[in-house]
Chain A
Amino acid sequence: MSSLKSFIPSWHIWVLAVVAFLVPFLLSKIFARVHAYVKSGGTFKSASARTSVLSPDSSSAAATPFDGDYAADVRSVMDVIGKNSDLTVREFPLSRFDAKGTLFYVNGMQRERELNMRTLEFFMFEATREMLASPPNVKGLLPFYNLKESADVREFSRLVLFGYAGLIIEGVPCGLLIQSPNTSNRAIVEPLSEALLRGPRIGFTEVLSENTSMLRRQGFSDQLEMKSYIIGNTLPKEVVIAYFKDIVNADLLKEVEARISNINIDFLADSGYIEQLIEDNYLSPFQQLQNTERPDRVINGLLEGRVAILQDGSPFALIAPATFSMLLQSPEDYYERWIPSSFLRILRFFAAFLSLLAPSIYISFISFHPGLIPTELVLSIIETRQGVPFPSLIEVLVLELSIEILREAGIRLPKPIGPAMGIVGGIIVGDAAVQAGIVSPILVIVVAVTAISSFSMPSYSAGITLRLLRFFGMVFAAILGMFGTILFFLLLCSHLSRLKSFGVSYLTPVSPYRLQDWKDLFIRAPISLMKKRPAMMKTRQERRQT
């Protein structure tokens, strides 16, 4: 009996047992709460969402239809938008029959010469009463290929301000929108964030129609389908979902469509907004949609059975679902021959590992297990660390943080100053810090290798994630040494294994093993071998047609 008694643990074990329960329990409660809060605050108020599939004659509840009386119609349009200084209103007579018309357009959004020469000439001297007789005829008889009728004053006014040329003609009971906007755009340039040495140089721009046309121009197909959505409550914008009809999984498409149409927001400034509003897990450091500026990358994603989301005004398309392996793949892998590509890809995996864990491993070796590295190396490290007054965590943090600040500053600075700052910040300060004995030279090497490794991430967003996680790893290492680092790695694996992007597990195809998909994971197999679409996407066609 007494021997049994000695097995009853002391009171502090019981206290710790309570702690063992409370910490994960409270943490999970907090996370669940925060997640639910973010979710309810952001999207999924579908009842009040004012989104609809784009159609030219969609009428909202607050519609004010054209009244049919010319003067009253012009007045009501002027009431809505007449105060804009950039609006040009030109009233003209239609000389073939005794009527008047008014042309509305916004300066700078129309080819003015064409408006004068063609449009006004036509209406003033050629248009006959028959052409404008009744609404069904209007479309058929007028010589404009891009003609829209608008029955609603508000919609008419909105579209005029968006850049259309609008017409109101006496005797026609609706507004006519004759020319689509023609604004000045940025030239098409090479994608800035995903530069390649070999491969197409074309990158998306801010104009949706240009971007969709770039996708169309990738090849002949009648299966590439694009669906348009108007999203935004205050300042609506067009969003397009693109996919291959005969490839994409119907359930995936439905899910994407549902999430897109559930977005409830004032204004979408960039596709980054969409990404954040439709992702699965708001609290994960990992991106769950791939963003890219490259049409070739989007098309390749679509052919794998993914769905692309493009937004007017953003040169970044989103590809859903995203998986972990995509973060470390560059389109160039496919354009170069397979042996060097595979080598580069393995190198990138290694670089990702380094950029995530190198400082943690340094800390755990220096502070906890110097016995595990070769004796001579330990001796030289200790020698150089002799004058350093800080524990290794502080030492690493100082240098890592300053590198991160340097990088951040380098991005914000204008191009000519950037490199200069790099030299001052990196080389001079780094050297001076070593001289001053704040950090050890070995650490400078470690931090530099880490930073360079994180530059090798093909996707900027993935790079940020790893940079952020590195600091958590360092804290783990500083508390528990190698054990902490391993724990951090295991936690990361656990998180990744739990994470899903649109129902696809983030870790596929690393796990579960799908050897068929491994041809395009660590190595990039010869193209002739990649005959099947990724199994994880559960596409309608299994084989790539040859």
Chain B
Amino acid sequence: MFNRTDDKITSSQAAVFLTNTLLGAGILSLPRNVTQAMETPDAWLTILLGGAAMLGIVLLMVKLCLHFPGQTVFQYAGKIIGKIPGKLVGMLLILYFIVVAGFEIRTLAEVTTFFLLEGTPSEAIVLPFIWAGVYLVLGGINSIARVFQIVLPISILVLLVSFGVSLRLFDINHLRPVLGSGFLPILRGMKTAILIYAGCEVILTLTAFLQEPKQAVKAMLGGIAIPIFLYLLTVVFVIGCLSVDSVVTSTWPTIDLVRSFEITGFFIERLEFPFMVIWLMQMFCNFSSFFFQASLGISQIFNVRLKPVIFLLAPAIFIATMLPRSLQDVFTLGDSIGYIGLGMFFLLPLLLTLIWMIRKKGTKGHA
């Protein structure tokens, strides 16, 4: 076949898709969120632990999906728990995706008005962003994955360069003592650390689009390993360079880190600018991914065509974006997304798997 009519993605695309879905707002606020909850410099341990837990969850999700080749969670949830509850779960997921998408854009708007476009109404930032997203999502999962594949290498490069340059501020003493206040703070930090992995649910739909489902486990584990590594790096460097005290007091500690040094003799003295650029692009990917998942869900649950759904979702996401009244609301929303996300990507696949296994056993027994 020369002209592909099916919209499938390769396993490398799937891995990048997952990475880009996870790598978003978290990069800027994660160090503060985690550290605020823990009040010790052990945030990196939390990230590691959370990451390890995520690997298990990802494995669970992929295994679940592989029982239903070529089907997304919106399609097979009904088969597991019955038609109506399945639809309800699907709608819950969709709602969650919309809220997360709105949250991401809102964060973007807040950061942009703060650093780049002071005095610009956030609607003027949000609307074109959503429109660009509509254009991309209309192209289908393949186009989305392609754009992700362009953006991700640039992002990783800039991130690594920024951290590499900030090495001179790095002081290992800021990360000490390890486990100074015992193990308890780490558990306290876990729930905030989980927020950054919100979006993991895309695996439940992504696996259906794989060209070679056999490689699903490898692709998804690869896809989650990259953000775990990058988040770990972020936390280590931000806390290591800025110390716990200043991280807790700053709104966007990662940007503060990048702003805190100058590279003289270069066209751009501070890396804040390239950092903002890649972060914006990353947010775009992030948002498009959730946007696509939500519209895919609606079209599959209600059996309607994808295209009109995408157009109709644009205002829904816009309203979701505008719901928080202040930055404080945004952060509160972020925290609650973390909690909901925990349920969504931990409980949901677990329950679905359990029920599926019981049912399968049951039918086997009858037969």
Partner of A497, one of B116, B146, B267, B325: B146
B301 interface residue (CB < 8 Å to A): no
Interface pair B124/A480, CB less than 8 Å apart: yes
Contacts of A6 in B (CB 8 A): 325
B280 touches which of A249, A486, A491, A498 (Cβ 8 Å): A486
Chain A contacts with B in 442-458, Cβ cutoff 8 A? none
Q: Is A28 located at the chain interface by the 8 A CB criterion?
A: yes
Tell me which residues across on chain B come within 8 A of A368, comparing CB atoms. Answer: 116-117
Most chain B CB within a 10 A radius of its CB, from A482, A483, A510: A483
Smallest Cβ-Cβ distance to A254: which chain B residue: B2
Q: Which of A6, A13, A17, A377 has most B Cβ within 10 Å?
A: A17
Query: Which chain A residue shows the least CB distance to B137?
Result: A494
Residue B3 at the chain A interface, CB threshold 8 Å: yes
Tell me how far the C-beta of B291 lies from the nearest C-beta in chain A, rounded to whole angstroms.
Answer: 12
Partner of A480, one of B2, B125, B144, B276: B125
**Chain A nearest CB: distance from B7 CB in Å?**
12
Interface flags, A227-266, vs B, CB<8A=1, else 0? 0000000000000000000000101100100000000000
Q: DSSP majority for the A interface?
A: helix
A372 on interface, CB distance cutoff 8 Å: yes
A interface size (C-beta, 8 A): 51
A510 contacts B150, C-beta separation under 8 Å: yes
- The residues in A between 1 and 49 inclusive whose CB is less than 8 angstroms from any CB of B are 6-7, 9, 13-14, 16-21, 23-25, 28
Residues on B with C-beta less than 8 A from A511 are: 13, 145-147, 149-150
* A23 and chain B: residue at smallest CB distance: B131
CB within 8 Å for A482 and B145 given contacts A20-B314, A487-B128? no
**What chain A residues lie within 8 Å of B147 (beta carbons)?**
490, 493-494, 497, 511
Q: Return the CB mask of B74-115 against A: 1 if under 8 Å, else 0.
A: 000000000000000000000000000000000000001000
Is B143's CB under 8 angstroms from A503's CB? no
Report B250-288 residues with CB < 8 Å from chain A CB: 266-270, 272-273, 276-277, 280-281, 284
Is the beta-carbon distance between B1 and A251 smaller than 8 angstroms?
yes
Which B residues lie within 8 Å of A249 (CB)? Answer: 2
Contact B150 A24 (CB under 8 A): no
A505–B146 Cα distance when bound, in Å, is 10
Q: Indicate if the CB atoms of B116 and A373 lie closer than 8 Å.
A: no
- Could you mark each residue 56-74 of chain A with 1 if its beta carbon is under 8 Å from any beta carbon of chain B, else 0? 0000000000000000000
Q: Is B339 an interface residue when CB atoms closer than 8 A count as contact?
A: no
Question: Across the interface, which residues of A come within 8 angstroms of B130, CB to CB?
Answer: 20
- On chain A, the residues within 8 Å of B132 by CB distance are 487, 490-491, 494
| Chain B 1-47 interface residues, beta-carbon cutoff 8 Å to A | 1-4, 9-10, 12-13
On chain A, the residues within 8 Å of B3 by CB distance are 251, 255, 503
Tell me the bound Cα distance from A503 to B149 in angstroms. 20
Q: Does B134 contact A (CB under 8 A)?
A: yes
Q: With A251-B2, A490-B132, A505-B146 in contact, do A20 and B269 touch (Cβ < 8 Å)?
A: no
Q: Nearest Cβ in chain B — how far from A262, in angstroms? A: 16
Q: Tell me if A507 is interfacial: C-beta within 8 Å of chain B.
A: yes
| A538 at interface, CB cutoff 8 A | yes
Which residue from chain B places its CB closest to the CB of A497 in the assembled complex?
B146
* A526 CA to B200 CA, complexed, in Å: 42
* A96 within 8 A of partner (CB): no
A481: interface (CB < 8 Å) = yes
- A219 contacts partner chain B, Cβ-Cβ < 8 Å: no
With beta carbons under 8 angstroms apart, the residue of B10, B117, B146, B325 that contacts A483 is B117
B319 is an interface residue with CB less than 8 A from chain A:
yes
Is B323 touching A9 in the complex (CB atoms < 8 A)?
A: yes
Report the nearest A residue to B277, measured CB to CB.
Answer: A486
In the complex, A491 Cα to B323 Cα: how many Å? 26
Which residues of the other chain, A, contact B13 by a CB distance below 8 angstroms? 511-513
In the bound complex, do residue A13 and residue B319 qualify as a contact, i.e. CB atoms below 8 Å apart?
yes
**Bound CA–CA A23/B149 (angstroms):** 28
The answer to whether B315 and A483 touch across the interface, beta carbons within 8 angstroms, is: no
Whether a CB of chain A sits under 8 angstroms from the CB of B136 is yes
Query: Is A374 interfacial (CB-CB < 8 Å)?
Result: yes
* Contact indicator per residue, chain B 308-331, by CB within 8 Å of chain A (1) or not (0): 000110111011001101000000
Which of B2, B10, B13, B273 has most A Cβ within 10 Å?
B2
Contact between A21 and B139, CB atoms less than 8 A apart: no
The answer to whether A369 has its CB under 8 Å from any CB of chain B is yes
Does B322 lie within 8 Å of A9, measured CB to CB?
yes
Distance in Å from the Cβ of A295 to the closest Cβ of chain B?
26
Cβ of A374 to closest chain B Cβ, rounded Å: 4
In this complex, which of A25, A375, A486, A505 has the most chain B Cβ atoms within 10 angstroms of its Cβ?
Answer: A486
Which of A9, A369, A375 is close to B319, meaning CB atoms less than 8 Å apart?
A9
Contact of A374 among B123, B127, B267, B276 (CB under 8 A): B267
Q: Choose one: A24, A373, A487; the contact of B311 (CB below 8 Å).
A: A24
Within 8 Å by CB of B116, from A24, A481, A513, A538, lies: A481
- Name B267's contact: one of A9, A28, A373 (CB within 8 Å): A373
Closest residue to A16 on the B side, CB-wise?
B123
The 8 Å CB contact of B139, one of A19, A255, A375, A498, is A498
Minimal beta-carbon separation of A117 from chain B (angstroms): 54
Taken residue by residue from 281 to 312, chain B's Cβ proximity to chain A (1 for < 8 Å, 0 otherwise) reads as 10010000000000000000000000000011
Residues of the A chain whose Cβ atoms lie less than 8 Å from the Cβ of B48 = none
For the complex formed, measure the closest distance between the CB of B304 and the CB atoms of chain A, giving whole angstroms: 15
Of all chain B residues, the one with the shortest Cβ separation from A493 is B147
Contacts A494-B135, A503-B3, A512-B10 hold; do A16 and B318 have CB atoms under 8 A apart?
A: yes
- Max chain B C-beta neighbours (<10 A), residue from A25, A252, A490: A490
Contact check, A512 vs B149: say whether CB atoms are below 8 A apart: yes
Told that A372-B270, A497-B143, A497-B150 touch, could you supply 13 new A-B pairs with CB distance under 8 A? A7-B325, A13-B319, A14-B319, A16-B123, A16-B318, A19-B127, A255-B2, A374-B268, A498-B143, A503-B3, A510-B149, A510-B150, A512-B12
8 A-B contacts, Cβ less than 8 Å apart? A7-B323, A16-B318, A16-B322, A17-B315, A20-B127, A493-B146, A494-B143, A503-B3
B residues apposed to A, CB below 8 Å: 1-4, 9-10, 12-13, 112, 116-117, 120, 123-125, 127-132, 134-136, 138-139, 142-147, 149-151, 266-270, 272-273, 276-277, 280-281, 284, 311-312, 314-316, 318-319, 322-323, 325
User: Could you list which residues of chain A lie within 8 angstroms of chain B, going by C-beta atoms?
Assistant: 6-7, 9, 13-14, 16-21, 23-25, 28, 249, 251-252, 255, 368-369, 372-375, 377, 480-484, 486-487, 489-491, 493-495, 497-498, 502-505, 507, 510-513, 538
